[in-house]
Amino acid sequence: MNYYPFHIGDYRSGTMHLTNGEDLAYRRALDWYYDTEKPIPLETQWVSRRLRVDTKDLETVLQDFFVRTEEGWVHERCDQEIAQFQQMQAKNRANGAKGGRPKKPKETQKNPVGLQSVSDGVAVETHSKGNQEPRTNNQEPDIPPTPQGVAGGFQPPVNDPPEPHELPRPTGDNSHPLAGTVCQLMKRLGVGLVNPGNSKLNALLNAGVTVGQFEDAAHKALAAGKSFSYALGIVEREEREARSLGAQLQKPRVAAQPVNRQEALEARNRAVGDAWLQEMQARMEGAGHAR
């Protein structure tokens, strides 16, 4: 494919969390995918050199937006667009083999309504003109015309394309059983670019995070205008804080020594008596010096 539809709003809302390097890696990975019409190879270092992007940035976007399979990193939205393109291409080739676009059947009626043949061969109108505006509702061509500058005869779809990252999708052998459920829930709430094969999502589920925690994070992400990766970051941070607090609460406390009130009172009385005795001795010595 040398053409594919690019929806600016969908892309911007789903990639606001990316750095400049990651955004560049994602765009070039999409171009590679559409150009080859095949999954991104698993050798990420080899791919990053040919895309001229940082390997770490490429691996980050592959984890976020693609699903790892034996054939490579696949992208469901790209596969949908490629399938539509190939279907239209095959249809155009079939029409070309038949000599072009099918023609409409010609009118075979000898005397159309409103006309009458005469001896000199000139057709004469026999009815009033009335409303002669042409009907346009049946004048749609059978096949959309090929847009100028697009090779292969591919016509971009007129209707709105399907939502990005529709479920279900292949999640891989290491995906948690609840990964698809979490993604369906988030997508229903309005979170875009969900991916049940995301490694962070599956790690959190394996650590015991509940579906309700992901739902709360989805609401917070939507309130901040963020997407799927941001929601996962919220869950990860809250889980880390909860574990830290739990570890502090589990530390053994040093028991306070019981206070013996009788001993404390006796000690206080001794201290007061010692102070009074010292004061009296000092007074007696002062009086003797005065004599």
Q: What is the DSSP string of 206-271?
A: HTT--HHHHHHHHHHHHHTT--HHHHHHHHHHHHHHHHHHHHHHTSPPPPPPPP-HHHHHHHHHHH
Q: Which residue has the tokens 């005469």?
A: 118
Residue 5 has pLDDT above 50, yes or no: yes
Identify residue 185 by its one-letter amino acid code. Answer: L
Query: What confidence tens digit (pLDDT) does each residue in 230-253 have?
Result: 888 898 888 888 888 777 776 666
- Token reading at 23: 């955004």
In this prediction, residues 82-87 reach a mean pLDDT of 84
Return d(Cα 56, Cα 61) in angstroms, integer: 9
User: What's the confidence (pLDDT) of residue 47?
Assistant: 94
Burial class (CB in 10 A: 0-12, 13-18, 19+), 58: buried
Q: What is the pTM of this model?
A: 0.35
